[in-house]
Structure 1
Amino acid sequence: MKKIIIIMLSWFQLCSYLHASDQIKYGVIDTKGTVILDLTWDYIGHFHQGLAPFRDQGKYGIIDLSGEIKIKPQWDAVHLFQEGIFEVRKGSYQTGKWGLINSNGSIMLKPEWDRISGVRDGLAAVKKDSKWGFIDEQGDLVIEPSWDEIVHFKEKLALVSREGKWGVINNKCEVLVEPKWDEIKSYYQGLAAVRSESKWGFIDRKGNIAIKLEWDEVGSFSEALAMVRKGNKFGFINETGETLIKLQWREVSCFEGGFAKVRSGTKEKNNWGVINKLGEIVIEPEWDIIGPSPIFSEGLARVRRGCEMKGKWGVFDKSGKMIVEPYWDYIGSFDKGRAIVFLKNKNERDGRYGVIDNKGNTVIEPRWTFMDNKACEGLYLVMAGDWDNEKWGHIDTKGKIVIKPQWSKAGRFINGLAPVRREKNEKRGCINRKGDIAIKLEWDEMAPFSEGISVVAKEVSK
């Protein structure tokens, strides 16, 4: 599974190794394949609202879709900070300094900072000389760099550390909790977990102790419940510190959608199950894996019995009823009532992919070497052949072949177009839903379409 994910991503992205080649030039095309920005640029990044970073002779600036240089190339790096503002760097990645400029190129924050983070709750963290402070969205310094460590704003509160102790500040630069805690977690639902020496409890937004420090381990509140541990047993408390779910489990997850995963601590049942917010067992703790977050997707939870290589997957609904018996070697997440499934061949070295519905019925028989995990614009991306002779195409949601598997690489349909390539290391282009070539296969690299355009690259003669 990991192999194909890497292949798909690299197919869509502009590979970084091309940036160093003087023979590769970048331009922009529209969804008809018309060149709207000539291939004369050493590098073009992602366009956002008509502006993109570009590189010329090793320096970066900003251009628009007409090719007009809005900010001349003078920086060693340029990134979008937020709408109308760009983060820029002078110097190398290791030792360079960061600042902010607007879309006219005017300096908003001098490039003298070691790091600048993204904006949250109207503020961004900045670092200079090993100390952290905060700037506002316009680049004005609002909190002087005086903190050793920070955890960014959440619920308009940030965690800050000085000399190994943690406290809390608000987005008005006020210290709400003096740095006195050995450890602190971000606020959730108005409470933050804190540790003093070996015991955990919770404080409120004013720093008052809301739940006594008596626990060996705690989790943040989720859906008004927090995981707690004493010794080797886990349970859940509410926001007043009352134990609502008895400490009896060897391991638990936080609640999501009214359910939490629990792991039995007995020798007979050393596996995973699911409980509701009343502590009632919905799925018995007898499974080696219960599918990744969220526990229930479209009302269904995927479970596996057995090890990764030989285990079998099944499906439960929220009532605890088994919808699909443990039969498949893999079941993907449900999307619009369907999920891809994988069934190994008898030799257990390879197998085939198909699709089931939310009743467990097989709607597409397992016949494909690989399938994308969901249908995009009503079509699944599929691969026939083997990994040494890949043939990619598309089928509809009933399994009917719409585009014959023939491409050495292909991607999902987005806005009626799918990227394709005939042979390895050959040119890329796009096909339409009929399988006709909509954008000529002439590009060495091609980024995903966004805002109706794609950045493309081609090797040109010197």
Structure 2
Amino acid sequence: MMKALRPGIRLCLLFLHVLILSPVLTTAQEYDLDDLPEDDYDFSGPFYSLATQKGYDYFGPPQMFKLRIRHQGKYAFMDREGKIIGSFYDFVLDYKGNVAAVNRNKKWGFINENGEELVQPRYDLTDDFYDGRARVYLNGKFGYINREGNEISPLQYDYAGNFSNGFAWAKKKEEWVLLNRQGKEVKSFDLDGVQAFQKGVAVVYKKSRQGLIDTTGKAITRIKYQTIYPFRDNNLALVELDKGEWGFIDKTGHELIRPIYEDAYMFSGGLARVKKDGKWGFIDSTGKMLIQPQYDHAFDFDPKSGKAIVASNMEYFFIDRSGQPVSNFRWSVKKDEQGKPVYSLPAFSKGMAIVASSASLYIIDDAGKYRKPLPYAFASSFSNGRAMVSDGNKYGFIDGNGELVIPMKYNDAEQFYNYVAFVKEGSVYKMIDQTGKELGRFDPTIESSTHIYRDNRILVKSGGKWGYIDISGQKVIPCKYDYAANFSEGLAIVKQDGKYGYIDPSGKMVIPPVFSEANSFHNGFAAVRLATGWGMIDKTGVLRIPAQFRSAGNFSNGIVEMVTASDKAGFYTLKSRLTERGLPVLEEE
């Protein structure tokens, strides 16, 4: 059975949609300076000041020393002197690799760092450049252009993936075609699906089975595996056969470690954990069993400490690479409601964690060398260098050494988050810092709160409505909303007149309330629902993925999974993995 910690790789055949640019933002969105990369922080302020002086809305942080701005409904880039680079467009995307995508009259093109048009806006969709090539889409067909804007292949494909390792996959009718960097077709294949090339090999699919090919199109393995996982630094890939037999292959397709194990995980710290006859042990990259299967459960070796946590007889302990226990210390494995073991790693923070052994609590380090008993009835995990503890009556906080640094005097308390903790002393709720200093307190009129501190705002409810206070406890955004959420990436959802929009920390409505449902921003995007379905907006309020899906996930590593309604397949399969531009992606592309 596949485990949650081992991401599965399954094909998701994807098709295309037409990107809808629907600007719903009417006021500027100021980027939270706390979120800026350190390299950008020093020069962001002057950019923002210049944009404000000129009356521009702006969207930071600056990229390539250029700030994306909007004026009178049009978008452009401004340099550090306040000059507009090139022209205004209906929409622009941030620079990536000295080029930026621009949109005019619902068509996409590219400009260079001087604002000159490398590719006039003429495509329905464009993607970023990979290996110096970008896929483009026009009139229902895909093709590729180079950085000079020249089409290196005709726009003739029903689907096209990004270039990777100098090659790309495209689909023409029922065949998958392998293309080189010149846009030439290397070979065609009768396959059900493919993955992008990585380290010179690609996974291909046929009848729910997987195999490998090289860049010449030559088959490296037969198409027989249930799953082929990515190759790691040791050039080995974990594979699974139909009957749940696990092993490893090298890049020549040779089963260097035959699939004879009941379960297995990828290599970590030079060793891989494998399961045989119901017990876990460890093998090296040659397949030699260095630590015999003997444990009820095992976790990966830590490459830094050279230690691993294993479990036997409902107890955890550390072992070294020879399989010897690091110490005699053991701690307890938790059970579920049915009395079955629940295996999980300790919640280490800055190398320290709190665990339970019998009826006692201990602080341990992540190398198994340090432990210290704690004289408390309860202790939370560490957060921001503090752990909440209780004697069964009052609450306080300890540091990583187990020292009580905030006295045990609170009737209730919560863990630190963003270096602020919410505590209750008597009948008063307060906010404290890591030294225990009071930062502010709740007004008696506050009925409830999420107790989450972000962007110097705390969501509270008063008089049946939601609003926000700052860290001192002052009401800075009136409690007037039927619904509100915590701030996330500088914006918060609020409900006004039955619709959802987004405000900034000043309380300004920066994305108007036009959505029937909305989610918080995550990695620069938020899922929103209109009458036509779910889509994704960016922080400018523009729909970057059209609102036509039954459900939407969150962006992670530039990819989001969207689910179509069963009666609205259109250009999509049931589940589609899409880029920030709404383009489909191959698995692991």
Under a length normalisation based on structure 2, what TM-score does the superposition of the two structures give?
0.51
User: Hey, what's the Cα distance between the residues in 2 that align with 1:208 and 1:172?
Assistant: 20
For residues 116 and 313 of structure 1, the distance between their equivalents in structure 2, rounded to whole angstroms, comes to: 52
Query: Structure 1 residues 354 and 98 mapped into 2: Cα distance closer, same or farther (>3 Å)?
Result: farther
Task: Provide the residue aligned with 2:78 in structure 1.
Answer: 63
CA distance in 2, matches of 1:277, 1:240: 15
Q: Would you say the 8 A contact 1:24–1:457 is kept in 2?
A: no
1:421 maps to 456
Residue 238 (structure 1) aligned to one of 236, 245, 250: 250
Out of 207, 222, 225, the position equivalent to 2:236 is: 225
Higher strand share: 1
Asked if 2 retains the 8 angstrom alpha-carbon contact of 1:157 and 1:187, the reply is: yes
Structure 1 stretch displaced more, 192-201 or 108-117 = 192-201
Structure 1 Cα separation of the partners of residues 121 and 133 of structure 2: 18
Map of 1:290 onto structure 2 = 299
Q: Give the equivalent residue in structure 2 for 1:74.
A: 89
CA apart distance, 1:156: 1.2
Q: In structure 2, do the counterparts of structure 1 residues 427 and 313 end up closer, same or farther at CA, with 3 Å as the change threshold?
A: farther
Distance 1:129 1:263 in 2: 52
8 A contact 2:228–2:237 mirrored in 1: yes
Give the match for residue 284 of structure 2.
276
Distance 1:198 1:34 in 2: 53
Higher RCO (Cα < 8 Å, 6 or more apart): 2
**1:53/1:147 Cα in 2 relative to 1: closer, same or farther (>3 Å)?**
same
Q: Which runs of 5+ in 2 are unaligned?
A: 1-23, 34-39, 334-343, 387-416, 442-453, 460-467, 473-486, 491-503, 509-589
Q: How many Å separate the matches in 2 of 1:220 and 1:27?
A: 37
Cα pair 2:28 2:59 within 8 Å, conserved: no
Give yes or no for contact 2:135–2:161 (8 Å, CA) kept in 1.
no
The answer to whether structure 1 residue 183 and structure 2 residue 218 are counterparts is no
CA distance in 2, matches of 1:30, 1:228: 45
Q: For 1:193, which of 186, 193, 203 is the aligned residue?
A: 203
Q: Which amino acid aligns with 2:422?
A: G
Structure 1 residue 459 displacement after superposition: 6.6
> Following the alignment from structure 2 to structure 1, what is the Cα–Cα distance between the partners of residues 168 and 43?
48
Cα distance in 1, alignment partners of residues 310 and 62 from structure 2: 43
Give the fraction of aligned pairs with identical amino acids, expressed as a percent.
20
Query: Structure 1 residues 314, 118: CA separation in 2 closer, same or farther (over 3 Å shift)?
Result: farther
The count of corresponding residues between Structure 1 and Structure 2 is 376
The residue type equivalent to 1:252 in the other structure is A
- Please say if 1:163 is aligned against 2:173: yes
Match of 1:150? 160
Letter in 1 for 2:439: Q
1:201-220 equivalences in 2 (<5 Å): 201-220=211-230
Cα distance in 2 between the residues matched to 1:184 and 1:341: 43
Tell me the equivalent position of 1:174: 184
Q: Residue 118 of structure 1: SS of its match in structure 2? A: coil
Report the CA distance shift for 1:31/1:88 in structure 2 as closer, same or farther (over 3 A): closer
- Cα pair 1:202 1:209 within 8 Å, conserved: yes
**Does residue 1:46 correspond to 2:56, yes or no?**
no
Residues 1:133 and 1:37: Cα distance change in structure 2 (over 3 Å): same
Structure 2: which amino acid aligns with 1:361?
Y
Q: Which one of the candidate residues 249, 253, 273 is aligned to 2:265? A: 253
Deviation sequence 1:378-410 (CA, Å, 0-9, x none): xx964433599574645xxxxxx5x957379xx
Structure 1 residue aligned with 2:141, among 123, 128, 131? 131
Name the CA distance, whole Å, in 2 between partners of 1:184 and 1:354: 48
Find the aligned partners of 1:389 and 1:252 in 2 and give their Cα distance: 49
8 A Cα contact 2:201 2:214, kept in partner: yes
Letter in 1 for 2:421: A
- Residues 104 and 195 from structure 1, CA distance in 2 versus in 1: closer, same or farther, beyond 3 angstroms? closer
For 1:358, the equivalent position in structure 2 comes to 367
The answer as to 2:439 corresponding to 1:406 is yes
1:385 to 2:417 alignment:
no
8 Å Cα contact 2:362/2:372 also seen in 1: no
1:72-123, Cα deviation, whole Å (9 max, x unpaired): 543234322322x2112236xxxx4322122343322222323322222111
What is the CA–CA distance in structure 1 between the aligned matches of 2:185 and 2:148, rounded to whole Å? 23
Indicate if the aligned counterparts of 2:31 and 2:61 stay in contact, CA closer than 8 A: no
Map of 1:413-452 to 2, 5 A cutoff? 421=456, 425-426=468-469
Closer, same or farther in 2 for the Cα pair 1:373/1:445, shift >3 Å? same
Alignment-mate amino acid for residue 278 of structure 1: T
Q: Is the 8 A contact 1:369 1:383 kept in 2?
A: no
- Is the CA contact (8 Å cut-off) linking 2:273 and 2:298 kept in structure 1? no
Equivalent residue letter for 1:356:
D
Query: Is the contact made by 2:130 and 2:164 (CA closer than 8 Å) also made in structure 1?
Result: yes
**2:122 aligned partner:** 112
Alignment of structure 1 residues 323-402 onto 2, 5 Å:
323=326, 325-327=330-332, 331-332=346-347, 338-342=350-354, 356-362=365-371, 371-372=383-384, 382-386=419-423, 391=431, 393=433, 401=435
Counterpart residue number, 1:97:
107
Q: Tell me the distance in 1 between the aligned counterparts of 2:173 and 2:222.
A: 25
Cα offset for 1:139?
Answer: 2.9
Structure 1's 327 and 66: CA in aligned 2 closer, same or farther, altered over 3 A?
farther
Aligned to 1:450: none
TM-score normalised by L of structure 1:
0.63
Q: Structure 1, residues 152-207: CA drift from partner, whole Å, max 9, x if none?
A: 22221222222233232111222222233333333344333334446544333222
Task: Measure the CA separation in 2 of the matches of 1:142 and 1:364.
Answer: 67
